[in-house]
Amino acid sequence: MMSADPMAPDPLNAQAWNRYAYVINNPLAFTDPSGYCFLGMCTWGHAISTFFDRSFGVLFRDVPILGTLFEIGATALCLGNPVCAIPVAFASTAFVADVTSGNLGYALRAGLIAAATAVAFYEVGEVTGHNPEFGTSQYFENVAGHALVGCASAVTSGGKCGPAALAGGITSAAGPFINGQNFAANVVSNAVLGGLASVAGGGKFANGAITGAFGYLFNACGNSNHCTAEEIFRGKAGGVENADGVFGFLLPIVGGIRSLFVGAVEEAVEGASSLLGQSFGKLGTVVENPGLDITAFTKHGIDQVITRGVAPSDLLSTVTNPSVVLQQSGGQYLFLSNEAGVVLNPAGNVITAYPSSMFGPGVRNIMNLLP
């Protein structure tokens, strides 16, 4: 403390610019054996991680639908080729999960589930011919297969079966009659129809959108020719040139939905901030992230962290990347994430903290209401 540190461990943390401060003024929580840096903050890996967290992470957390669009768009670039699309589905999903949660284990799990879902949709297509004609036995098998894959993917991710099964089944059922447009229009149509089916079943628009889009990309576009450039420009990617019959009425409906896609995105963005100003009794009122950093611990706070076994990484990620923040009496803030809950006073001192395994019914209710 008598001489200045030769480097700032975290340029995006204001506390780190005080080069006379020891471990960003937080000696009760951290140590710095070398005297130069701590927690690996001076490594290139930390610098890159911080960049993605403060850029893509902030963007995807504030506007969750953008993460969904990123995953669909990245996978769509492979034009249904499973050799390309399955790894991209894994990578894009893991990337979004990582920058929004800061939890590598959770991100890898999300990526693996996305890749497994893609493989399952492709295999359903292999069994049923990818683009079966309406009314055939393969058509009904395809619909059932998509519903089953959607359900399994949701349950594995900790979600509900019903909305995901609807998203997969309805987009498959309508596929032969709405996929006669160009490639981009087909992707959007399936995504929006899947999202609306999910909402109708009590689920989230974003989850259904991914299920619908993946069903199209890995089934209708997963045949041996994939969605070739010729098919895309002719407007036949993964579908038929003309649609009629039982599902003919869906064309103008989906066309209208597609034209209102921006409106659907705006509505989803609105939903992400719909809890702002809502009071949850003693837990507090939902507010914008005040942008506090952990500066120190109260004696009670450090005791609770140690006793309850809250990992330092979960503590930091919850305050840095909260899912929601509530302002409590006395100006305190409750930061919540999938990993932990942390209460800070306006000066950034930790008042108390607890792992997600200790979330009570009130906190779990708040987390379930998040988009």
Look at 153 and 371; give whichever has higher pLDDT: 153
Express each pLDDT in 1-37 by its tens digit. Answer: 455 555 555 555 555 555 566 665 666 655 566 555 5
How far is the C-alpha of 224 from the C-alpha of 192, rounded, in Å? Answer: 26
> What value does the mean pLDDT take over residues 319-337?
91
Express each pLDDT in 184-230 by its tens digit. Answer: 788 888 999 999 999 998 888 988 999 999 998 888 776 654 464 44
Look at 189 and 183; give whichever has higher pLDDT: 189
Could you say which of 3.30.2310, 3.20.20, 2.115.10, 3.10.105 is the CATH number of the domain covering 281-369? 3.30.2310
Express each pLDDT in 141-172 by its tens digit. Answer: 999 999 999 999 999 888 889 999 999 999 99
How far is the C-alpha of 249 from the C-alpha of 72, rounded, in Å? Answer: 26
Amino acid at 194: G
Structure confidence at residue 371 (pLDDT): 66
135-139, 231-235, 289-293, 360-364: segment of lowest average pLDDT: 231-235
Helices 82-101 & 104-128 angle (0-180, nearest 10): 150
136-140, 180-184, 225-229: segment of lowest average pLDDT: 225-229
Strand ranges (E), 179-262:
none
Per-residue tokens: 337: 């994430």
% helix, strand, coil for the chain, step of 5: 60, 5, 35
Q: What is the DSSP string of 239-303?
A: S-S---STTTTHHHHHHHHHHTHHHHHHHHHHHHTTTTT-B-GGG-EEE--------EE-HHHHH
All structural domains of the chain with their residue ranges: 48-272, 281-369
Share of the chain above pLDDT 70, in %: 70
Express each pLDDT in 337-351 by its tens digit. Answer: 989 999 999 999 999
Express each pLDDT in 244-299 by its tens digit. Answer: 433 344 444 444 544 444 454 444 444 435 688 889 999 999 999 888 989 889 99
Could you report how far apart the first and last alpha carbons of the chain are, in Å? 45
Residue 119 burial class via C-beta count within 10 angstroms: exposed 0-12, middle 13-18, buried 19 and up:
middle
**The model's pTM:** 0.54
